[in-house]
Amino acid sequence: MGNKVATFTEQQLEDYQDTTFFGRKEILRVHRRFRELQPELVPRTMSLEATRDLRLPKSLINTLPELKENPFRDRILKVFSSNGSGDLSFDDFLDLLSVFSEHAPRELKLHYAFRIYDMDGDGVVGPGDLKAVIGRLCQHERGLTPAEIDAVVEQILDEADVDCDGHLTAMEFSHVVARAPDFVQTFHIRI
Residue 32 C-beta-side C-alpha neighbours within 13 Å = 9
123: left (phi over 0), alpha (psi -120 to 50) or beta: left
Average pLDDT on 37-44 reads 95
**Helix (H) and strand (E) counts for the chain?**
12, 2
pLDDT category, 142, cuts 50, 70, 90?
low
- Give pTM, 2 decimals: 0.90
Mean pLDDT for 47-57 is: 94
Handedness of CA 43, 49, 28, 45 (dihedral sign): positive
Residue 171: its H or E element = helix 170-178
On the question of pLDDT at 187 being above 90, the answer is no
Least confident segment among 18-22, 125-129, 147-151, 182-186? 182-186
Tell me what pLDDT residue 140 has: 59
Read off the pLDDT of each residue in 173-183 and give the average, rounded to a whole number: 86
Q: Please say whether the beta carbons of 43 and 31 come within 8 A.
A: no
Task: Enumerate domains of the chain plus CATH numbers.
Answer: 10-99 (1.10.238.10), 106-186 (1.10.238.10)
Indicate if the pLDDT at residue 1 is higher than 60.
Answer: no
**Taking residues 11-15, what's their average pLDDT?**
96
The contacts of residue 151 (CB under 8 Å, 6+ apart) are none
68-95 pLDDT per residue, tens: 989 999 999 999 999 999 999 999 999 9
Supply the pLDDT for residue 3: 44
163-172: list long-range contacts, CB under 8 Å, 24+ apart: 166/126, 166/127, 167/124, 167/125, 167/126, 167/127, 167/129, 168/124, 168/125, 168/126, 169/124, 170/111, 170/114, 170/123
